[in-house]
């Protein structure tokens, strides 16, 4: 097979890198490590097994796997089989997993033995499944005869040919992945991402983050979500090493791995960095090998920025914003972080951001409007959901063009740097005023002794909505509700001061590390 110098499809990245660096470490995880040559060989063998089992071009393959080596192999194997990979978080319940299998009409499921309690009932009787591949133990399911992953990987690599090897099949407009996200209704919907969009995003990320083969990326982010997935894909693109951890549940272990591997890159979300800040205040942390820290999902509290500078003294900090529907929309130049706290910067290379009023007019600098994203990285649409697609992909500047309406409120300053104001369903309308939860959260997190804060609106007969804050304190902090209220009154306009402040031991999180405001609303509902 001739290496693809200029990749047209996502898995060509692996082909190219394995040709250039066959013995370089690709992925390191609890189960061991895979060099690029090994990753390519295993992926090809599993791809051949999937093709033999009846997986065809464009067929969805559901990957119900841990954040580990097997998941990385299965992602590339699905692509090499000409299929569309669908990574599902291993914390997902059987009912939801079954829904996804039915919704996308998956032809194959790849899982592992310790997940069979969920995977087996979800897979049983699913009419579209032609293959179930399992690592570790043969599952008892009603349907196709399960294939053992170890048997598939032990097979000799299949000869190149149209019936088995799909490396050269397909066009960039074909789907590479379906990423399921819940949205406002809670019903999972599949975001369709093409090879073209994925490759563009990978190139843009590698460009502005300045990644290269010397990098070691330590990621605790789930491969089931785009932020985690792109850690694998960008590492593969440049020949870097991905160090995978399953989660940040045990921070001490993750930090030991961070030091031992001398990782150069740490992607995270505010909840992870809040825990690091709290740990640092008790016992100083320092990781001089890290030269790049990225943050997404929500803005970092301004008070955490200097602390993170102490923890990572040699690191450039990249605040970013994105959605599953476009992976990444913008980033702030690290040189501006101290000057523009709360900003998520300008559009990623090769794309454009437009802020429009609800009526569709472009807003002036400083005014609040809805962020729209133009570029090749925008999703194809939502799988089998034309109405939701039409609501989110709206007419762009060019005939036939569609741009992404994020449904998030933003403003832009005179220099062109963007500021997240709030999600469309998060903005609190109280006393005739609009309150940005992010602004109130930033003030709360700036109070000494506060680790995390989440602000929501709750129904109120007089005010329409009342502002409610859920706050997590540092261990040993003596702050009370009255102290927090007094600090808010000093720093916020009166209508923004929370009516209620609840002190919590922890905030509920989604699988990708975001605070689950849906769950907080349910608590008070």
Cα 514 from Cα 467, distance rounded (Å): 20
Can you give the pLDDT at residue 361?
Answer: 94
Of 246, 247, 245, 219, nearest in space to 233 by CA: 219
Q: For position 1, what pLDDT does the model report? A: 43
Domains 12-170 and 248-422 share a fold: yes
DSSP-assigned beta bridge partners for residue 450: 473
- The pLDDT assigned to 430 comes to 85
| Tokens matching residue 360 | 């569709």
Confidence class for position 434, pLDDT limits 50, 70, 90 = confident
Average pLDDT taken over every residue of the chain: 91
Q: What does DSSP assign to residue 379?
A: -
Q: What is the second-level CATH architecture of the domain 12-170? A: 3-Layer(aba) Sandwich (3.40)
- Locate the domains of the chain by residue range: 12-170, 248-422, 426-524
Using 50, 70 and 90 to split pLDDT, how confident is the model at 4?
Answer: low
pLDDT of 170 reads: 84
How many other C-beta atoms lie within 10 A of the C-beta of residue 516? Answer: 14
3.40.50.620, 1.50.10.10, 3.40.350.10, 3.40.50.12780: CATH of 248-422: 3.40.50.12780
- Residue-by-residue DSSP string for 287-307: -TT--EEEE-SSPPPGGGHHH
**Among 79-93, 131-145, 186-200, 486-500, where is mean pLDDT lowest?**
131-145
Distances (CA, A) of 106 to 66, 87, 113, 194, 407: 19, 12, 20, 17, 30
Strands (E), 40-188: 60-64, 84-88, 108-112, 131-135, 147-148, 175-181
Q: Which distant-in-sequence residues (6+ apart) come within 8 Å of 380 by Cβ?
A: 175, 192, 193, 194, 197
Q: Of the ranges 56-70, 264-278, 402-416, 417-431, which one carries the lowest mean pLDDT score?
A: 417-431
Q: What is the pLDDT of residue 165?
A: 47
Long-range contacts of 310-315 (CB under 8 A, 24+ apart): 310/280, 310/284, 310/286, 311/276, 311/277, 311/280, 311/285, 311/286, 311/287, 312/266, 312/287, 313/286, 313/288, 314/288, 314/289, 314/290, 315/266, 315/290, 315/291
Q: Which of 295-304, 317-326, 359-368 has the lowest mean pLDDT?
A: 295-304
CA distance 122 to 442: 41
Give the domain 426-524 fold.
GMP Synthetase; Chain A, domain 3 (3.30.300)
188-219 pLDDT, tens digit each: 899 999 999 999 999 999 999 999 999 999 99
Pairing verdict, β 241-244 and 265-268: unpaired
Confidence of residue 162 (pLDDT cuts 50, 70, 90): very low
- Provide the token pair at 178: 């379906």
Cα–Cα dist 191/381, whole Å: 6
pLDDT at 159: 46
For residue 185, name the pLDDT band (cuts at 50, 70, 90). low
Length in residues, the chain = 525
The answer on pLDDT for 388 being more than 50 is yes
The rounded distance, in Å, linking the Cα atoms of 233 and 240 is 10
For residue 247, the model assigns a pLDDT of 87
Q: Give the pair of three-digit tokens for residue 267.
A: 């992607």
The DSSP string of 302-344 is GGGHHHHHHHSTTPEEEEEE--TTTS--EE--GGGTTTSTTEE
Selected residue with higher pLDDT from 326 and 518: 326
Confidence of residue 136 (pLDDT cuts 50, 70, 90): confident
Per cent of the chain over pLDDT 90 is 74
Name which of 425, 424, 419, 437 is nearest 319 in CA terms. 419
The 3-class secondary structure across 438-475, one letter per residue, is HHHHHHHHCCCCEEEEEEEEEEECCCEEEEEEEEEECC
| Cα gap 26→235, rounded to integer Å | 8
What's the token pair of residue 171?
């066009």
Give dist(CA 197, CA 211) in Å, integer: 19
Res. 183: pLDDT tops 60: no
pLDDT given for residue 167 in this prediction = 59
Is 2 a residue whose pLDDT tops 50?
A: no
For residue 219, give Cα distances in angstroms to 115, 166, 319.
22, 30, 16
DSSP 285: -
Q: Give the list of residues 6+ apart from residue 311 with CB closer than 8 angstroms, or none.
A: 276, 277, 280, 285, 286, 287
């Amino acid at each position: 097979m001739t290496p693809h110098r200029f990749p047209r499809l996502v898995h060509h990245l692996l082909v190219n890198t394995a040709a250039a660096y066959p013995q370089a470490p690709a992925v390191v995880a609890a189960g061991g490590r895979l060099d690029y040559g090994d990753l390519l060989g295993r992926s090809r063998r599993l791809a051949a097994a999937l093709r033999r089992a009846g997986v065809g071009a464009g067929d969805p393959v559901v990957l119900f796997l841990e954040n580990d080596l097997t998941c990385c192999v299965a992602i590339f194997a699905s692509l090499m089989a000409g299929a569309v990979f669908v990574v599902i978080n291993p914390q997902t319940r059987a009912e939801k997993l079954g829904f996804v299998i039915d919704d996308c009409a998956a032809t194959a499921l790849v899982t592992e033995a310790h997940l069979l309690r969920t995977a087996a009932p979800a897979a049983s009787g699913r009419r579209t499944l032609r293959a179930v591949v399992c690592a570790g133990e043969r599952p008892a399911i009603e349907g196709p005869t399960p294939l053992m992953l170890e048997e598939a990987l032990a097979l000799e690599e299949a000869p190149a040919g149209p019936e088995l090897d799909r490396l050269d099949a397909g066009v960039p407009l074909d789907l590479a992945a379906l990423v399921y996200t819940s949205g406002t209704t809670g019903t999972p919907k599949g975001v369709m991402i093409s090879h073209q969009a994925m490759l563009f995003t990978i190139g843009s990320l590698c460009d502005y983050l300045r990644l290269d083969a010397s990098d070691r990326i330590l990621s605790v982010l789930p491969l089931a979500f785009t932020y985690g997935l792109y850690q694998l894909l960008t590492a593969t693109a440049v020949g870097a090493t991905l160090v995978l951890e399953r989660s940040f549940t045990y921070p001490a272990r993750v930090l030991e791995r961070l030091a031992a591997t001398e990782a150069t890159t740490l992607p995270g979300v505010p909840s992870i960095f809040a825990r690091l800040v709290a740990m640092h205040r008790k016992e100083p942390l320092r990781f001089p090998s890290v030269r790049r820290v990225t943050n997404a999902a929500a803005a970092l509290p301004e008070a955490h920025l200097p602390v993170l500078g102490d923890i990572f003294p040699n690191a450039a900090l990249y605040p970013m914003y994105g959605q599953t529907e476009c992976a990444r929309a913008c980033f702030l130049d690290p040189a501006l972080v101290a000057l523009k706290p709360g900003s998520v910067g300008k559009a990623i290379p090769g794309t454009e951001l437009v802020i429009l009023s609800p009526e569709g007019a472009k807003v002036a600098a400083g005014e609040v409007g809805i962020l729209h994203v133009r570029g090749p990285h925008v999703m194809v649409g939502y799988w089998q959901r034309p109405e939701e697609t039409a609501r989110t992909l709206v007419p762009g500047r060019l005939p036939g063009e569609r741009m992404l309406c994020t449904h998030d409120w933003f403003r832009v300053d005179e220099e062109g740097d963007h500021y997240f104001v709030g999600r469309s369903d998060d903005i609190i309308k109280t006393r005739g005023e609009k309150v940005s939860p992010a602004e109130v959260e930033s003030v709360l997190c700036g109070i000494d002794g506060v680790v995390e804060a989440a602000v929501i609106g709750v129904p109120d007969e007089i005010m329409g909505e009342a502002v409610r804050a859920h706050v997590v304190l540092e261990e040993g902090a003596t702050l009370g509700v009255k102290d927090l209220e007094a600090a808010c009154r000093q720093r916020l306009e009166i209508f923004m001061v929370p009516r209620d402040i609840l002190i919590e031991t922890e905030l509920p999180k989604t699988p990708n590390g975001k605070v689950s405001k849906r769950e907080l609303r349910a608590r008070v509902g």
